[in-house]
Structure 1
């Protein structure tokens, strides 16, 4: 293949993998060939302002569409700048292809400008890294493009060298089929243990969310279900079995304390917070991959096709009755509501006001920061991947680019992005992307001019305001300057009035909240 030929072949392989859009910040090198080749086959290219934001857009699009969506960047500074978004994809289990230009192999001895060992740089934050070059074969390309959407999802890095040679040892992950004898024995033991349990509780993780047929199995089983942040919506949070969220914190502890058996279904050990596991009940763990971490001790490990094993193991023979899971969920939500005074415009009141104004169909993205302590336990969601947050990496600057990726993946549907002032400051440039594309995104900023979650954790020796406080920014004015509607609200009534309209237009709502309830929210959720 000549240079343009490599671009055409890679674009073709992406198209055959179901990719419908690409994102990035191209440089002046061969990656422009790839952008052109993608556009030639009607794969859209979304120009972002920052490489990390572009990666989060692409990874979110990839998660929703279940495709290896690419982010395209230049070599050197483009590659190093895309690192955070790449790590987000891998640790949050979002499918992503990272395509970087590179110093051509033939020039590497004489060219030091922008030369970084990009393969080594990306190795710790990707599932695989390879060089694709002029004589790469189609089978290798197809193999590389299957890795991001093979569980656990994550990022694959491709150094794009149109003049060189591909890797002789390009790393491809090999999925090993489980030992059928061991699987059969594990299933039999799990069936016995589940059959003896009177009050089992199920914890579902992100792998389960990527297996939608599990929803019916869990509802039929009828025991309370706790969902990780990434699995929220697999079972309806307002449905018959949804009991609350699972973070390994304080909020769900009453549910787990009532259990005589805990069954994890597709729980990825990157999902819980790193607090000690204190539950005495035995654990049955269902997953399609071997869990090597000893974070959560399992009495029985069932490693095999997730839906198939769950259908066999989760046979209802318990003493839970209808309504108990719903009551547990209501108790958890009331615990959150009681953390805030009803006469303040704080994070809880903001979230409940937003819930009351939601359109019928929406995708919600949430940034890292104190505000998620109010959003995540209260937010209603009835489908997987309708509530998105960075959890494994827990990076700020996620919500706005993720909202863009979601809006491209679900064209015409409204998207709501919740962010703090810190995360908004990191991604303000992408407001122009929203305006340019006229995406139906509502950005809500919890604005208290402070890194509030960090402030809660400060002691007297930790630098005070100099470490956590900003000057107040008028984000509504920034939004208007970027080409979208901007509003400042100081009360629930003002917020409700603005929210009631224009879900089909890009807009930003700068909510000047009272942050005083954050310490109580942290105590209620985490302990």
Structure 2
């Protein structure tokens, strides 16, 4: 175990070079989009590479096709294209993007993997006409049966479609659907105007944080109620800068991810977000962050419960079980590791505390007592066929 070795480590390997999808398939898809009443693009995680993001943005700019992102595709749509962005979809089927997928007569999935958001939620009846554009063959099941698969280099294929496809012209009914969903998307991002009693609403945290960081700041999210708020309402404008753990939904992932991000981009500030339950899953990694002097600002949305579990228990059983835990002084906890600990005692303190943390050296933990009164709304108003 301690012997020296002269074997060189394996260097970075180049990825396989794929060709463009077949020309006749591209022509078919172009004609299919032109004849559709409301075609919609669903962007998945493999649409979030720099090359594919560039191609997708050019396609949207030229054609004005409406777009929905999965959580993993966050940041693929730029600020300049926000008018064509209809939010992100995942977990609970009650978002403007879900409604748009329901209204669409053609869904073009680009770089989409079913583990991001199972087709049984957004295509329960299996009646959507789907075009699958990816560098992987489709994972076929009852709810995901593409009419065509365009397999090859995603960026090259998207570019070829863009060259052949004119600007989208929708009928009045489809335009009305888009206008209604734009209004709904804007409405759900509004911070409620009500007495807070010392706790801060998730939307206020999201709005304030978004205003204080650059578009190229990496933000890592743990799993919990906070991640649903972040996925739905935190706008991201560069790919792979807003990170979520779908599939396994790993509690405690945010802080280790953030530390890793500082190693990839040394000296660059990274923000991570968790609930208090998720934070305690991996909070011992504060030792690593302090030892590396990692420039991580970690926001803990504290409510003393495993809230995402709790509100789903309330939905199903009308009561909770084993979702509460004891109070932890997160400021003292951070300081015991040698990190900086800050607390937001009232909503009015939020911006000042965030600014102080972002300007500080080394790791910072921010304790934010959170107003989770609206969390039950995260899963209500389901579209009718989700649970059928």
TM-score bracket, normalised by the shorter chain, equals 0.7 to 0.9
- Deviation by residue 1:439-475 (Cα, 9 ceiling, x = unmatched): 2211000111100010011159979665110001111
- Deviation by residue 1:201-231 (Cα, 9 ceiling, x = unmatched): 1111111112333232333231111111111
Separation (CA, whole Å) in 2 of partners of 1:371 and 1:209: 22
Q: Does 1:331 align with 2:172?
A: no
1:67-466 matched pairs, under 5 angstroms = 183-210=22-49, 211-214=52-55, 215-236=57-78, 239-240=81-82, 241-247=84-90, 249-251=93-95, 252-273=97-118, 275=121, 277-278=123-124, 280-294=127-141, 295-314=143-162, 315-320=165-170, 328-329=181-182, 331-337=184-190, 342-344=194-196, 345-359=200-214, 361-459=216-314, 466=321
Change (3 A) 1:524 1:509: farther
Separation (CA, whole Å) in 1 of partners of 2:75 and 2:108: 18
SS in 2 for 1:244: strand
CA contact under 8 A between 2:222 and 2:253: conserved in structure 1? yes
Q: CA deviation at 1:359?
A: 4.3
CA contact under 8 A between 2:62 and 2:167: conserved in structure 1? no
Q: Does 1:495 align with 2:347?
A: no
Separation (CA, whole Å) in 2 of partners of 1:460 and 1:245: 23
Greater C-alpha Rg = 1
SS in 1 for 2:22: helix
SS in 2 for 1:186: helix
Q: Does 1:9 align with 2:1?
A: no
CA contact under 8 A between 2:39 and 2:105: conserved in structure 1? yes
- Deviation by residue 1:88-133 (Cα, 9 ceiling, x = unmatched): xxxxxxxxxxxxxxxxxxxxxxxxxxxxxxxxxxxxxxxxxxxxxx
- Deviation by residue 1:321-352 (Cα, 9 ceiling, x = unmatched): 999968744522423547x5643322222222
SS in 1 for 2:225: coil
Q: CA deviation at 1:424?
A: 0.6
CA contact under 8 A between 2:314 and 2:320: conserved in structure 1? no
- Deviation by residue 1:465-514 (Cα, 9 ceiling, x = unmatched): 65110001111111111111101213221121101234143211111112
Separation (CA, whole Å) in 2 of partners of 1:326 and 1:440: 41
TM-score by length of 1: 0.63
List runs of 5+ in structure 1 lacking aligned partners.
Answer: 18-144, 151-174
Change (3 A) 1:308 1:415: same
- Deviation by residue 1:300-329 (Cα, 9 ceiling, x = unmatched): 211122112222234234215999968744
Partner of 1:64: none
Separation (CA, whole Å) in 2 of partners of 1:367 and 1:237: 25
Task: Give the aligned CA root-mean-square deviation in angstroms.
Answer: 3.1
Separation (CA, whole Å) in 2 of partners of 1:331 and 1:324: 11
Separation (CA, whole Å) in 2 of partners of 1:235 and 1:460: 34
Separation (CA, whole Å) in 2 of partners of 1:259 and 1:461: 31
SS in 1 for 2:301: strand
Q: How many residue pairs were aligned?
A: 364
Q: CA deviation at 1:260?
A: 2.8
Separation (CA, whole Å) in 1 of partners of 2:71 and 2:183: 18
Q: CA deviation at 1:411?
A: 1.9
CA contact under 8 A between 1:242 and 1:326: conserved in structure 2? no
Separation (CA, whole Å) in 2 of partners of 1:424 and 1:392: 19
- Relative contact order (alpha carbons < 8 A, sep ≥ 6): 1 or 2 greater? 2
Separation (CA, whole Å) in 1 of partners of 2:292 and 2:371: 33
List runs of 5+ in structure 2 lacking aligned partners.
Answer: none
- Deviation by residue 1:377-400 (Cα, 9 ceiling, x = unmatched): 211211111000101221111110
SS in 2 for 1:394: coil
CA contact under 8 A between 1:204 and 1:225: conserved in structure 2? yes
Separation (CA, whole Å) in 2 of partners of 1:281 and 1:389: 27
After superposing the two structures, state which structure 1 stretch, 430-439 or 350-359, moved more: 350-359
Separation (CA, whole Å) in 1 of partners of 2:129 and 2:140: 17
Q: CA deviation at 1:238?
A: 6.4
TM-score by length of 2: 0.83
Separation (CA, whole Å) in 1 of partners of 2:296 and 2:90: 28
Separation (CA, whole Å) in 2 of partners of 1:360 and 1:208: 18
After superposing the two structures, state which structure 1 stretch, 248-257 or 382-391, moved more: 248-257
Change (3 A) 1:238 1:355: farther
